[in-house]
Amino acid sequence: MPNFKTSHDRRTFLKRSLGAAAAAAAVSTAVVPVAFAQGSARTLRIGNQKGYLNLLKGRGTLEKRLAPLNVSVSWTEFAAGPVQLEALNVGSIDFGDVGEAPPIFAQAAGAPLVYVAATVTRPQSEAVLVPPQSAIRSVKDLKGKRIALNKGSNVHYFLVKLLRQHGLQYSDVNPVFLAPADARAAFERSSVDAWVIWDPFFAAAEKSLGARVIADASGVVGNRAFYFSSQTYAAKNPDVIRILIEELDKVDQWGKQNKDQLASELAQLWGAPKPVVDVVVARQQYGTEPITRAILAGQQQIADTFLDLGLIPKHIDVSKAAPPDLA
C-alpha cells in the first residue's frame, strides 16, 4: 500500500487489507520433521504490501520457523496487488497478499496463481459514501447520480450487486472511474455525488469529511482478501506454505487481542492518523479460512460479473486456481 498521504496508482487495489489477517484454522501446528532439515536449500520470495505481511517481517518469526527446513526468506514490497501478481507471473515472487479483484485479472492474463488461504469476510470495511449534507438517503436515490469508484476493483463488484439488490441496474448510475486519492478530491469538491470505497480511505472520509454511509457491503458481498502462491511453488513446498500461514495467523490473533497496538503499527506503516486506523481496526473482522469450493464460487461470480462488464476479455474458470489440497 502506498503512503496514505501520497497519490495512488490507478490500479491500486489496497487491501482492505488492513484486514488481511491470516490463517487457515485447519492447518496443523505440528513440529517440523527432522528429515526436512536435511533437505536441499530452498528460498521463499514474499511480495508484500504494507499490512500484515510487513508486521510478520518485522517480527522475524517466520525466518526462525523456516531455518530448520533450510529455507531462506526474501521480501519485496509492492504498492498494489496487481503489481504483485505481475511479479508472480514472471517468476519473481512465490507468495503474496491481494484483494478479491486482482486475481481475476491475473488469471485472465494467464498467471499461474493458486489461492492458498482467504481472510474471513469483512463487509463492513467498504461502503457507499455521500457528503454530510447530501439529499441522497437510500440506494435507490443513487439513480442517475455520478458515483466515484476504482475501476475493476472489489468495490466495482460491490456496487453492481448493491444496485441489483435494490432494483436498479448498473446502467442506472453514472460511474466515474478514479483512483482513491483522486476520488477523494472529487468527493470533496462535490464533483461526484457518491463514492464507493474501502478502508482506510473509508474511515478517513468519515473522520475528516463527515462522510455519511448509505450502505456498506453487509448482506451484499463478502469482501475478502487472499493469500496466493504459484501453482508450482505451492505443489512443491506445502510445508513452507503451511508454516507461513501459521505465522500470519499468530500476527492476526495478536492483533485481535491488541487492537490499540495494532492500530499504532498500521498507522505508522500507512502514514495515516491513528484515530482513522482505530476505526479501521475496530470494525475489521479477524481470522482466515482454508480455500473451499464455496469461496472459489464467490470468486467465480466476480469473474462472471467482470466479464459481463467487459472488464476481462474472456471467461475464466476460477477453480483452476484451486490449491492442490482442495477437498
Parallel, antiparallel or unpaired: strands 113-119 and 225-230 = antiparallel
Listed by start position, the domains of the chain span 17-122+224-321, 124-216
pLDDT at 208 over 50: yes
Q: What is the pLDDT of residue 39?
A: 61
Percent of the residues in the chain that have a pLDDT greater than 90, as a whole number: 76
Over residues 2-12, the mean pLDDT reads 37
Least confident of 21-25, 223-227, 292-296: 21-25
Domain 124-216: homologous superfamily in CATH: Periplasmic binding protein-like II (3.40.190.10)
Residue-wise pLDDT tens digits, 119-178 = 999 999 999 999 999 999 999 999 999 999 998 888 999 999 999 999 999 999 999 999
Give the Cα separation of 160 and 305 in Å (integer). Answer: 8
pLDDT at 182: 95
Per-residue pLDDT tens over the stretch 48-74:
888 889 999 999 999 999 999 999 999
Other beta carbons within 10 angstroms of residue 166's beta carbon come to 16
Contact between 228 and 115 under an 8 Å Cβ cutoff? The reply is yes
pLDDT for 52: 86
Indicate the SS3 state at residue 15.
coil
CATH code 3.40.190.10 for 17-122+224-321: yes
- The residue among 194 and 154 whose pLDDT is bigger is 194
Cβ atoms 107, 316 nearer than 8 A:
yes
Strand partners for 44: 73
**124-216 has the same fold as 17-122+224-321:** yes
Mean pLDDT across 236-252: 93
Q: Which has the closest alpha carbon to 222: 151, 278, 161, 164?
A: 161
pTM attached to this predicted model: 0.81
Model confidence at 80, pLDDT cuts 50, 70, 90, reads confident
The SS3 assignment for 299 reads helix
